[in-house]
Structure 1
Amino acid sequence: MELSFKEIVEAINGKVVVRGREDFNNVCIDTRKIQKDNIYIAIKGERFDGNKFVIDAFKKGASIAIVSEILFDIENEDEVETVILVDDTEKALLDLASFYRKKLGLKVVGVTGSCGKTSTKDLIAAFLSEKYKVFKTKGNFNNQIGLPLMILELDSTYDVAVLEMGMSDLGEIDILARCARPDIAVITNIGLSHIENLKTQDNILKAKSEIFNYFDESNTLIINGEDKNLLKIKDKCFEILRIGYNHEYDVYAFNIILMEDNTTFSIQDNNQEIIFNIPMAGKHNILNSMLAIAVAKKLNLSFEEMKLGIKNLEATSMRLEVIKKDKITIINDCYNASPDSMKSSMDVLTTYKKGRKVAILGTMNELGDEAINAHTEVGNYAKDKVDLLIAIGSYKECFRKGYSLDSILTFEDKKDFIDDLKTIIKENDVILVKASRGMKFEEIVNSLEEADV
């Protein structure tokens, strides 16, 4: 981290109450992961108070602690090093990251949307990688704690940071955008995720649109033109680029070929047809790829550089991850779920021509009053996509109602299914596993991997 001690204190408007060691390297908020010379930021949450673990952080090697309360005896603790007092440690983390982002001055691409954020982030980073040194958000570090931690991992060797921005309510993306100040923003779609809190898709659009709250004429917004809600965004002071399947869009795809583990499509540029092959399955990943192409074009990459970059694709795990065992094929897509992503995953399942197509689907969370209709609709969508539907959890009967075929099995919880797994799964099955994160369906994936079918 390329900051001085003085800059840290000024950035967070802190007061040095104990002066000890001032040498430091990285920021850490978890005492279980503290390493020598880390700055420990004592985050105070609803269920825990990091201020209680400051001495533990120092014992493990932290050189500086940023706290909002002094819960130890400063005079009588031999382990105490430098302590900086602030009003709010979560705000201090955001302020420090904001200061650091401005100091580094690199290009930032912000990515948000109801689904597809992580895949789009991965694709953008890959497309850019041949020309630039690119940093991308790790895992799901996309909230008010995770995003600033990602920014603080940057250094001046990076050219571009691709930062994912998540939210569950109004105002949250605004905080992230104020911290990260993206030069380019990407919105993948407006679905039903978080409708439990936000009540309407218009409110979801409003929340996602906070990503461009700090834009001026120098900024660019890139949106999915196939999403009718996103087409409501227009007549802004900044540039808006749209992608999709319509020739009127700034980047559009045609000649689409969907395969089990890759997609091929063409785009048109100056009367020239450019063919792309993406090592990701699903038509939705063509839209994600076009968003990435639009970003790459904006950052002055040639199409040849983009094609070379896609070879560096590192997809985040548990998102349409294909696991080929001796007797079965597993599509592990259990990182999260929404109605749109459920449908996209089943579309991928249909590209497999051999073997029985099995979908193991669980609860989609945070849908509020839309939950019953959404689960029923997904069940209906599965009718001509799968040979066997396995529904697990609270909305299993909604899946059954929508599916309305006999080839469905329902289970109260995943343990019940795992206990019966060997009697259900057959040789050559292609099995999609998908549910919201809280369902922890990776346990089903693990059981399928270990099963002697």
Structure 2
Amino acid sequence: MKIHDLHAIFLANPSISTDTRKIKENDIFFALKGENFNGNTYTQKALDNGASYVVIDEEKYVANNKTILVDNVLKTLQDLANYHRKKCKAQVISLTGSNGKTTTKELINAVLSTSYRTIATKGNLNNHIGVPLTLLTIKPDTEIAIVEMGANHLNEIEFLCEIAEPDFGYITNFGKAHLEGFGGVEGVIKGKSELYDYLISSNKSVFLNADDPIQLEKLKSFTKKYGFSTTQAKYYNIELINAQPFVNLKVEDIEINSNLIGTYNFTNCCAAIIIGKYFNIELPKIKHAIEKYIPDNNRSQIINTKGHYIILDAYNANPSSMKVALENFQTLDKPNKILILGDMFELGNSSHEEHQSIVDLTKRLNFEKVIFVGENFYRTTTNSLKMQSFADLNAYLKTNSISPKSTLLIKGSRGMALERVLDNI
């Protein structure tokens, strides 16, 4: 089937599913494959559950005229998304970076949705499957689509740009994330910069943090750039007032008091501001949108429980985000500071060095109590408490209660699922 014919079917049934457990009536089910599953085998179940059509790539699973046989289901999903993107009037803003992508995406959407009809990536659907699914949520009246792009190896952002064909782009930062896949920090910079490369070669527009020397260098000869800075007069100036604990900033004569913890969230707010300004949104609307945004899903959540003040930042972690989180936590004017830190994943040969570096940083910052959790932290050299597994941590907390009225930072990679520790605090 030609893509334009499939697109016509999609327009009549504009909802996609890749999971038969979540199918809604008249969804089109794309039978994707993974290491441990084959979506083709769920063809009949998808139809029984209400799917209008099922897209498959194994002929033996053809059931009736509601099954669409293609050469490759994943490629067809990606091609359909690109075709749909081309047919829509929406402008596409793509963003990537080592840290802060999802928070920045949510802030940008909060600001732009005050004046435009927008769609944005749901959760972290930011890979070779998530980006197409996001693009396929663009409606005929959508004006701006905010598309998050994640990557853990070179050429991935380049590929996602070919699907999304963004009109604008922003990179949050370049940090020590997915070092195993990128082969080191230089690989991270090169990989994330593929978004810039696409926009420059397409003569599109870039938003930038002009206080980031890497971004400045990458874009020094490119003219279609719109940036913010705390010091450089040629860019839009935004001032950080403080982060005790929430980011408080000033732009022009307006003060914005966010619900975001830490100075590292300052640039995330700035990105939303500069993009809002580019799209002619008035500052009072920008202020209201940022102040109304409250993080969730274990991203710098503030939890007050049993007299404790807890910063739950257990959605993810890498050496860069861990470092800024610890430095920010150290500056907070709060009593009885306790750290519960879980392993950081996908660091390859740098894993031991990076975990030891975090251990050493906690010692220099002189925290009252530190508990490290996970195989990687367990192999480090430290006088602080080390737990080899989450089960060990649970056992410890059942017999060793947290001091009353403590301030805790809980942070680790997603695979550690450290939010589970709340049950025992």
TM-score, with normalisation over the residues of structure 1?
0.86
Q: Which amino acid aligns with 1:310?
A: I
- The residue aligned with 1:53 is 42
Q: CA deviation at 1:191?
A: 0.8
Residues 23 and 299 (structure 1 numbering): CA distance in 2 closer, same or farther, change over 3 Å?
Answer: closer
- Identify the residue that residue 394 of structure 2 maps to in structure 1: 418
Structure 2's unaligned 5+ residue stretches are none
Q: CA deviation at 1:32?
A: 1.2
1:167 aligns with 2:151: yes
Distance 2:83 2:374 in 1: 45
Residue of structure 2 in register with 1:451 after alignment: none
**Paired amino acid for 1:190:** F
Deviations along 1:99-145, one digit per CA (max 9) or x if unpaired, are 11222221221110011111111111122232123222111100011
- Which residue of structure 1 lines up, in the alignment, with residue 26 of structure 2? 37
1:197 correspondence with 2:181: yes
Note if 1:117 corresponds to 2:101. yes
Of 242, 262, 273 in structure 2, the residue corresponding to residue 257 of structure 1 is 242
Q: Is the 8 A contact 2:378 2:388 kept in 1?
A: no
Q: Does 1:245 align with 2:230?
A: yes
Over 3 Å counting, the alpha-carbon distance change for 1:370 and 1:364 in structure 2 is: same
CA contact (8 A) 1:349 1:385 kept: no
Per-residue Cα deviation, 1:314-335 (whole angstroms, up to 9, x for no partner): 5341110011113212211111
Report the more deviating stretch, 87-96 or 221-230.
Answer: 221-230
Instruction: Pick one of 254, 262, 268 that aligns with 1:282.
Output: 262
Q: 1:259 to 1:249 in 2, by over 3 A?
A: farther
Q: Offset at 1:39? A: 0.5
The count of aligned residue pairs is: 422
1:26 maps to which residue?
15
Name the CA distance, whole Å, in 1 between partners of 2:54 and 2:19: 12
Greater mean deviation of Cα atoms: 131-140 or 330-339: 131-140
Q: Are 1:126 and 1:309, in contact at CA under 8 Å, matched by a contact in 2?
A: yes
Moved more, 98-107 or 282-291: 98-107
- Counterpart position of 1:394: 375
Residues 180, 217 of structure 1: alpha-carbon distance in 2 compared, 3 angstrom cutoff: closer
Residues 265-301 of structure 1: CA deviation (Å, up to 9, x unaligned): 223xxxx444222221110111111111121122121
Say if 1:249 and 1:291 are closer, same or farther in 2 by CA, change over 3 A.
Answer: farther
Corresponding residue to 1:308 among 280, 285, 288: 288
State whether structure 2 residue 121 is matched by structure 1 residue 137.
Answer: yes
Going from structure 1 to structure 2, the CA distance change for 1:196 and 1:228 (only over 3 Å counts) comes to farther
SS in 2 for 1:318: coil
Change in Cα spacing, 1:119 to 1:160, as seen in structure 2 (3 Å) is same
Output one character per residue of 1:350-405: Cα deviation in whole Å (capped at 9) or x when no partner.
3543331111111111111222221122222223262111011122256544xxxx
Distance 1:350 1:37, change over 3 A: same
Match status 1:220 vs 2:205: yes
Matching residue of 2:385: 409
- When residues 316 and 225 of structure 1 are mapped into structure 2, their CA distance, relative to the original with a 3 A threshold, is farther
Deviations along 1:10-29, whole A, 9 cap, x unmatched? 559xxx9xxxx995241101
Could you say if the C-alpha distance between residues 388 and 251 of structure 1 is closer, same or farther in structure 2, counting changes exceeding 3 Å? Answer: farther
| Residue 350 of structure 1 pairs with residue 334 of structure 2 | no
Whichever structure has more helix as a proportion of its residues is: 2
After superposition, residues 69-218 of structure 1 pair within 5 angstroms as 69-72=58-61, 74=62, 80-215=64-199
Alignment correspondent of 2:275: 295
SS of 1:322 mapped into structure 2: strand
CA change 1:120–1:358 in 2 (3 A) is: same
In structure 2, how many angstroms separate the alpha carbons of the residues matched to 1:202 and 1:370? 14
Task: Indicate which of 5, 10, 17 corresponds to 1:9.
Answer: 5
Distance 1:35 1:322, change over 3 A: same
1:62 lines up with 2:39 in the alignment? no
1:245 Cα deviation after fit: 2.9
1:425 positional shift: 1.1
Instruction: Give the alignment partner of residue 372 of structure 1, picking from 340, 343, 352.
Output: 352
Contact 1:379 1:398 in 2 (8 A): no
C-alpha separation in 1, matches of 2:198 and 2:119: 22
Alpha-carbon separation, structure 2, partners of 1:188 and 1:255: 17
In structure 2, relative to structure 1, the CA distance for the partners of 1:240 and 1:385 (3 Å cut) is: farther
TM-score under structure 2 length normalisation: 0.92
Query: Cα RMSD over matched residues?
Result: 2.5
Q: Distance in 1 between matches of 2:36 and 2:197?
A: 31
Name the residue aligned to 2:417: 440
Tell me, yes or no, if the aligned pair for 1:35 and 1:62 is still in contact at 8 Å.
yes
Which residue identity is paired with 1:387? E
Specify which of 214, 224, 227 is matched with residue 229 of structure 1: 214
Q: CA offsets, 1:186-221, max 9 Å, x none? A: 101111111112213222122112223442575221
State the Cα distance separating 1:337 from its structure 2 match: 0.2
* Cα distance, 1:240 vs structure 2: 2.5
Query: How far apart are the structure 2 equivalents of 1:386 and 1:166?
Result: 33
Q: Is the partner of 2:375 in helix, strand or coil?
A: coil
